[in-house]
Amino acid sequence: MPDNRVISVAILFDHVTTLARQNWQKSDIELTCCIVPQALDINVDTDMIEQILLNLLQNAEHALAHLSKPIAGQVSKQGGTQVATAKISLKAFLNVRGHVVIEVADNGKGFEDENIAQIFVPFFTTKKEG
């Protein structure tokens, strides 16, 4: 049974980003957090929401693995091959109904069209290792 409590989104984001960064294999990921209003609070089961956010951040990190490889045909000003910056953003805001929305986004390549219908199926994965 969920153990809901009021928690500051800023404290939640600080905690999960600290934990996520400890496990990231790619240390040059640019992580941004945005909370509007800054003093935003939510009533949630802290352990559950932290696990959800950690899973989403881990998935985002995995989606960025291809960005460590040079982008074909693009050359930097210094003459070398250009590599896109891996970016993850974590946002929290109030929607038009006054409900808190938490968004995790990355600049990875996204889902293939044939997988879109299955993304909310429990235990669905496109990873070879499961």
ω into residue 37 within 30 of 0, thus cis?
yes
Helices (H) and strands (E) in the chain, counts: 2, 5
pLDDT, tens digit, 9 for 90 and up, residues 49-97: 999 999 999 989 988 877 755 555 454 455 555 557 889 999 999 999 9
Q: List the beta strands (DSSP E) in 29-78.
A: 30-36, 41-45
Q: Above 70 in pLDDT, residue 26?
A: no
Q: How far is Cα 29 from Cα 32, in angstroms, rounded to an integer?
A: 10
pLDDT of 109 reads: 82
Taking Cα atoms as reference points, which of 4, 3, 1 lies closest to residue 100? 4
pLDDT of 12 reads: 97
Mean pLDDT of 34-56: 96
pTM: 0.79
Q: How far is Cα 69 from Cα 49, in angstroms, rounded to an integer?
A: 32
Q: What is the CATH number of domain 4-118?
A: 3.30.565.10
- Is residue 111 within 8 A of residue 52, CB to CB? The reply is no
pLDDT of 118 reads: 81
